[in-house]
Amino acid sequence: MKLYVLLERVRSHLANPESHHRRIAKNFLLVSSFILIGKVAGAAKEMTIAWRYGISETVDAYVFVLTLILWPVSIWFSILTIVLVPLVARLRINNPLEIPRFMSELMGSTFILGILLSMLIYFIFPYILNAGWTGLSVSTLHLANKFSNGLAPLALLGVVISLFSAWLLASGHHRNTLFEAIPALVLFGTLLLPTTWVAEPLLWGTLAGIAFQLAALSVPLKQRGELQLPHFRFNSPAWKGFWNAIGILAISQTLMDFASIIDQLTAANLGTGAISTLSYSNRILALLLSLGALAISRAILPVFSDIHARGTGGLKRIAFQWGVWMFLLGIGAFLITWLLSPWIVAILFERGEFSTTDTKIVSEVLRWGLIQVPFYFAGLVMVQLLASKQRYGVIAFFAITNLFVKIFCNLILAEWMGVPGIALATSIMYMWSTICLYIAAYRLIH
């Protein structure tokens, strides 16, 4: 009887165009399909890298430098997603005529940020890398210096891509998620070319892929009339709401995203091949996390923001229901992937320079990292709930505590377990974060 009632409620929500559950479910399925396409492309790219380079110094240097360069870009995108979606939702209701001016001024500030970051990477990174703190071998460090100079333009391209993607998401469109497959596809194609055609395929394939992604994002914005010329000033009244949130989030997100840098540094001190081992494991884990996490955040935040901006009520009930559902989905994903992890690693990577021994090593790391999946899924729902209510201080506080938990666990577990300990430390960090977010969300709402 209870099952019948539950199915009837699901049917009624799906049949009602005004149902918030229907909007979330529709967005979730759409975004998930786009993410799946992107992650299949990413898997093809990783298979090609494994075939061509295996676990090697080249992959260590490339992953290390790419992580450092994309760190500020990732912070910028995270901030824009959390701040811009609720802000634009409020502007569309209260002051829609102000949106074009705010977009043009935000574009100008983004260009300035990107140029400064690219110059910093090009001129300062070689000194930072050679300061002796990385733990990389001399030959790996030499490769890292070459990659840092060549990949410096990624910072400028990346922050502009982040703005375009966040703006499309704020407008209720999800093509930006589909376009995230473009860099992987371009790099995949570049790596398959004969070695005499492209001297440094990792470098040029990465740059070309990012450039094509930027061009693809520009098209729908231009068609919608939302691609504004950059204005280098801050006159729009919308900046007040933007600055009120961005300061706290910038600090917290910087510290939170620093966890990936900590992992690279920890792995670098575990010997040659540790960074690439962690990277291969993280690529598979990212497929799972992105399918759920990006779909959750990009499907839920616009709906939550719209509910809060219109004051229609029911937000707490909807959020906690989706939190439970996402946790159960995460448990299912964890169990299936844990059982299949050796076969998944072998199918994706075991060819060319990637051996059977490498498969065993990577699959062990992957299994420890999978523990985070259900907690990560459920925690993201609470983050979207708090973001829709502009509770950025709470989000920031737990992001900071996550960093301390991560550092503490890395110091102990990496020494004890090696690379698998780094993956387990991340899982423990997300357990802590999810429990705290649920307690905070429940207390704030009540």
- Residue 8 maps to a domain: no
pLDDT higher than threshold 50 for residue 371: yes
- Residue 5 maps to a domain: no
Domain that holds residue 62: 34-445
Phi, psi of 3 (to 5 degrees): -65, -40
Least confident of 5-19, 86-100, 183-197: 5-19
In tens, the pLDDT along 118-138 reads 999 888 888 877 776 666 777
Rg of the chain on CA atoms, in Å: 22
Contact 258, 407 (CB under 8 A): no
- Residue 3 maps to a domain: no
Contact 424, 417 (CB under 8 A): yes
pLDDT higher than threshold 60 for residue 301: no
Amino acid occupying residue 302 = P
Least confident of 25-29, 34-38, 125-129, 365-369: 25-29
- Residue 51 maps to a domain: yes
- Residue 413 maps to a domain: yes
pTM greater than the 0.75 cutoff: no
- Residue 244 maps to a domain: yes
CB contact burial 271-286 (16+ within 10 A = b; e otherwise):
eebbbbbbbbbbbbbb
Name the residue with higher pLDDT: 316 or 294: 316
- Residue 379 maps to a domain: yes
Contact 145, 122 (CB under 8 A): no
In tens, the pLDDT along 82-105 reads 777 777 777 777 777 788 888 889
Structure token digits, residue 395 = 């989000």
Q: How many domains does the chain have?
A: 1
Amino acid occupying residue 131 = A
Other beta carbons less than 10 A from residue 90's beta carbon: 17
